[in-house]
Amino acid sequence: MNSKVVVIGPPGSGKTTVGRLLAERLGVPFRDTDHDVETTAGKPIGEIFVDDGEEHFRALERAAVQDALATHDGVIALGGGAILDPGTQADLAGHRVVYLEVGLSDAVKRVGLASARPLLVLNPRSQFRKLMEERRPVYERLAVLKVATDDREPADIADEIVKGLS
């Protein structure tokens, strides 16, 4: 069985937290492409947006996703917006992609609207709703498994994914 699983979803859906638990349960390594981008750039994502712009960030993100898909045999958590890239969408075909679905109020609680989320700077709640509405159809189209995360413990979500993929 292919051990590679790709976790997608909006900010606050639990990609990193659930991804780590899922990797643990599957006995495979975990990788977070946002972390890869920060390591490559030598600074946090928020600073990349401010210093270099979103376009530069997206290019770094695209490269990180390509590398992870090509070299990592485990669980990969993608940044929330990585799926907007048509190349990434094509690359995900044939992979076991899990979409972590989260409602606006749960996502806002988890992310915190004052945090370093560069796309949520002005009117965070409205921006977040817009972002989720734009991305939802793409998340749903790419996923082989959709898991609701609202009011649930990460461990329960990871268990559901293991069952859903087996």
17 is in an annotated binding site: yes
DSSP state string for 4-68:
-EEEE-STTS-HHHHHHHHHHHHT--EEEHHHHHHHHHTS-HHHHHHHH-HHHHHHHHHHHHHHH
Cα 89 to Cα 74, 86, 106, 111, 112: the distances in Å are: 19, 5, 26, 25, 28
16 is in an annotated binding site: yes
13 is in an annotated binding site: yes
34 is in an annotated binding site: yes
15 is in an annotated binding site: yes
112 is in an annotated binding site: no
Q: Are 26 and 162 in contact (CB under 8 A)?
A: yes
14 is in an annotated binding site: yes
135 is in an annotated binding site: yes
31 is in an annotated binding site: no
Q: Residue ranges for the binding site for Mg(2+)? A: 16
Binding-site entries for substrate: 34, 58, 80, 135
Per the annotation, binding residues are 12-17, 34, 58, 80, 117, 135, 152
Which residues sit in the known binding site for ATP?
12-17, 117, 152
